[in-house]
A and B are shown apart, each in its own frame.
Chain A
Amino acid sequence: MATTENGPGALEPRPAPPKEQRFSLNAIQELEEIASHYPERKAACLPALWIAQREYGGYLTPAAIQEVADRLGMSYAEVEGVATFYTMYNLRPRGRHHLEVCTCLTCAVMGAYDVVHELERALGIEVGGTTRDGEFTLSEVECLDYCGAATVVQVGDRYFTHVTADNVLNLIEELRQSEEYTPVKLADAIVKLHLPGSSQTGGGSRTGEQIRNNELY
């Protein structure tokens, strides 16, 4: 190898990560079904990454990217390019519940930042952080297209509406009680969306009545 003034160290290219095969039989069937919808296998890249995100426990490791690339006959770099382009693919582990608080215009007017600050205080983390126990990750996101029910917080495949600094702790409590691992659940819901017979994703929306009554789940 030619030498550079940098010498060996953090800047040197890394060795190739080990390969894994974590797609279950069911996952492989799903992938083949989805791939069969397109003239080229690589067109199935996005759903394949969702399958991988589910199979690899909620985030895409280098091995997950390699597995997707190998299964679709794409180059590793190309799949990594796709995976890093879209923000909904997780490249690092997230908390068991990923709290995505909308701080776009309407929600901001309706006190979204109070919600964010309350969450930061209660969880002891900053936006972008994950709690030590791995339960919660907190993010700010742009408009979730549910402005009529501001402030909106998305957790996995579910929307929580009319969230305020006062009621957000209830939400936290409720999530703590639940058994779900929401990044995986979200990934699964999105995969299902690509399969025949399913037409919608999400944990369902509330009726107008529920919304008016400021009911959470």
Chain B
Amino acid sequence: MSQFRLTQTPPSLNPPSDRMVRVKINGIEVEVPNGENIIESAKRVGVDIPYFCYHPRLSRGEAANCRMCLVDVYMPRKNPDGTETLAKMPKPQTACTLPAAQGMVIETESEQVVRDRKGILEFLLINHPLDCPICDRGGECPLQNNTIFYGPPTSRYIEEKRHFPKAYPLSEYVVFDRERCIHCARCTRFADDISGDAQLAFLKRGADMEVGTFAQTAYRSKFSGNVIELCPVGALLSRTYRFKARPWDLHTQKSICSRCSNGCNVKFDYRLEQLLRVNARVNEEVNEEWTCDRGKFGHDYVSAPDRLKTPLLKRDGEFVPISWTEALDRIVEQLRQAGSNVGGIGGQRCTNEDNFVFQKLFREVLGSNHIDSRLGRYQGPVNRPLFERFGYHGMGNRIADLENMKTLFVFGSELVDEQPIIFLRVRKAWRFKGASVVNAVTRVEEETTKVADFAEVNLIYRPGTEMALLLALAHVILHEKLLPKNASTSALAQRVGDWTPARAAAETGVAAEDIVRAAHLLVNGPMAILVGRAITEHPEFEALVEVLGDLVVATGNQGNLNIPGTECNTQGAMDMGVLPDVGPGYRPIDPPGMNTHRMLEAAASGQLPVLWIVGAKLVENYHDADLARRALENCPFVIVNELRLTETARMADLVLPAASVAEKDGTYTSCERRVQRIHKAFDISPDIKPDWLIFTEVAAMLGGTPYFSPRDILRDIAATVPMYAGISFRSLGDAGIRWEYPAGDA
């Protein structure tokens, strides 16, 4: 169970008022919201106030401790005779905690401020090792930058500096150089305010003060990598990037994280065809400026030494490298023989462009509708159960909308692992906006970043009893008459039966009072539901979604039922029509082809002569692994597009080396339907091809029209898929575009 509970912080991050006030900064008059932080006001007029500890997304609780942002402040004062004079505050103030007020006058370059800043920097550098030549931060370090522009040219300190071991391994990914720490409390506040695991704190005091974890245990957070970027000096460093490059030697390319469906905006920093680090890009709508550790450190596969670099053909049970010409000839030969009796599985981790060409090859060139990107248990009609009822697939809300909910119901999801950035929004809603969270899970892990730490009610139920829990919640809502009279509760009322909390308690193992408490929270709208893997992989998935649907209808929260996808382009693969029953843009296909499961069954019984698997780890992850194995064994010709020789690839007859996210251009569509651009950073080998190119080459050899670039494909997508109308590489910009269902379609 949760061990600690941080408190909710009053909303200190936003300007507290809509009222505008006039302030004057270095002689420039400007209107700003009353109470706005002066650092932000100064940014509006292009005045630069240096700072270290201030951070717009972190609370000010422990902060204002670097003193770098000192400014002179004058306030208007009424004299007894009614006139007004400007009175100077006797001492400089920290701009980062100074709320703008009517008539305030700020001077950032007065003689005193300039001298004070020098003094502050001299103090900060007293114990700083100044080992910039071997510091990863060198060249992009706020301490270096502020010292150049505001610091003293020399130091008077000749005594011994304090010393600590240089690289204390703080977490699996982060090493800590305590000598370089300037005690800004950004990392400790991050742990409290954002990730919520609260594992970093200041220990000791005065000159001995240091950042640390409890009893020198490892810092275990699912978001630990962010502190590396937050730290204004080189105290917190990446274990994987340390000593690998100087920042000015890196090339940078904008991209989208490929490790989950949330679609964090990232930068790939690389050098000599090696991806060296992944940093976040700001996208207020998506990841703000965070990434999870999986995204930040989980792209090592891109430059892994075991990347496939040539096509491999299995001869007598052994793989032999072959040329692309030979590989394509083989494929074409097999496809010609098979006719339309071929199956295609995968695409959730490919771009929209890859997927579009994938399905086009199957449908238009080969004449087969046996194509499916889904690997989960539910493989029924894609428009059920959500679209038919509510008019959308996947998520009804934007990720950013979640922070404005009063209640968030996380159901059957290890949210932090399944949807890390959605987790951060949910936490933000709780921490800064006063939302309550109801968390229904089968178990709570010890000592990790998790929803249970801040959920108002944790319903820990026995696996398989989801339905009973849900009906009991509905029972309370209906029988205690928690909803207004005009609520549309009829659908729900038909279902609840006699699922009283007491009966459900016996069934689910959740205390009846907790069910009642949760039900009382759920009616406090706006309320959004986030559904996780325990539900999507549930045998009764459709029935559960029906009831959840009734629940959002009854509580007046239509559109707030969210079933986010799992992979970086789960959504896009569906939009592109890599599904047996619908084509691009969810256009119905008649007759529908076989879904993944049926294709595997057909292959297992030797009835599918060719199976093409695109970046799907079937043997590893498919819920019926045995079936997957038999299918691969009994299918005469299995083609696998992969980055590395996975277990699935090992069972193939032909393995094609595919390009990773860093080696191709294109777009992904995140779980909230945001189409976002990935940019090609580098080529690892000339013999690695992006999936779309492989498909288009095969299509061309079989008489289809080829595409020449992802731009070309996207143009075609925009013309064919109504929701993507108007989307182009240019229009996507940096923030991407969240597509809407065309009006009247829903």
Residue of B nearest to A10 (CB): B165
Contacts of B611 in A (CB 8 A): none
Contact residues, B170-203 vs A (CB, 8 A)? 170-173, 175, 191, 197-203
Supposing A13-B217, A14-B217 touch, asked if A69 and B169 sit within 8 A by C-beta, the answer is no
Among A2, A12, A40, A80, contact of B214 (Cβ-Cβ < 8 Å): A80
- Known contacts A12-B169, A16-B447, A40-B7; is-contact A75 B199 (Cβ 8 Å): yes
Report the separation of the CA atoms of residues A80 and B201 in the bound assembly, to the nearest whole angstrom. 8
B169 to chain A, nearest CB (A): 6
Q: Are A85 and B172 in contact (CB under 8 A)?
A: no
Expressed in whole angstroms, the Cα–Cα distance for A62 and B4 within the complex equals 16
CB-CB < 8 A to A66: which residues of B? 214
A-side contacts of B170, CB under 8 Å: 13
- B205–A85 contact, CB under 8 A? yes
Main secondary structure, interface of B, reads: loop
B239-292 contacts to A, CB under 8 A, are 239-240, 242
Size band of the interface chain B makes with A = 35 or more
B204 touches A84 (CB 8 A): yes
B-chain residues with CB within 8 Å of residue A16 when the two chains form the complex: 215, 217, 447
Which residues of chain B have C-beta atoms less than 8 A from A78's C-beta? Answer: 4, 198, 201
Shortest Cβ gap from A88 to chain B (Å): 13
Contact B203 A80 (CB under 8 A): yes
CB distance from B59 to the nearest CB of A (A): 14
Question: Is the C-beta of B167 less than 8 angstroms from some C-beta in chain A?
Answer: yes
**Beta-carbon nearest neighbor of A7 in chain B:** B169
Count of interface residues, chain A, beta-carbon cutoff 8 Å: 31
B700 close to chain A: CB less than 8 A: no
Residues 526 to 569 of chain B near chain A (Cβ within 8 Å): none
Query: Would B215 and A2 count as touching, CB distance under 8 A?
Result: no
B3 at the interface (CB under 8 A from A): yes
Q: Confirm or deny: A11 has a beta carbon within 8 angstroms of a beta carbon on chain B.
A: yes
Interface: B168 (CB within 8 A): yes
Q: Mark B206-228, 1 if CB is under 8 A from A, else 0.
A: 00000011111111000000000
Docked CA distance A77–B203 (Å): 8
Chain A residues with CB under 8 A of B214: 62, 65-66, 75-77, 79-80
The answer to the question of B115 belonging to the interface, with a C-beta cut-off of 8 Å to chain A, is no
Cα separation A20 to B214 with both chains bound (whole Å):
16
Report A44-82 CB contacts with B as 1/0, cut-off 8 Å: 000000000000000000100110011001111111110
| Residue contact A62 to B201, C-beta cutoff 8 Å | no
Query: Once bound together, how far apart are the Cα atoms of A104 and B297, in whole Å?
Result: 53
Interface residue A1 (Cβ < 8 Å from any Cβ of B): yes
CB distance from A87 to the nearest CB of B (A): 9
Say yes or no for B479: interface residue by CB 8 A criterion.
no
A6–B201 Cα gap in the complex (Å)? Answer: 24
Q: Which residue of A lies closest to B196 (CB)?
A: A75
**Chain A hits for B216, CB < 8 A:** 13-14
Given A2-B297, A17-B217, A76-B214, 8 more contacts at CB 8 Å? Answer: A4-B239, A14-B216, A16-B217, A65-B214, A73-B4, A75-B199, A77-B198, A77-B212
Which 4 interchain pairs have the tightest Cβ spacing?
Answer: A76-B214, A75-B198, A13-B218, A77-B201
8 A-B pairs with C-beta separation under 8 A:
A6-B165, A11-B167, A13-B171, A40-B7, A73-B3, A75-B4, A78-B198, A81-B201
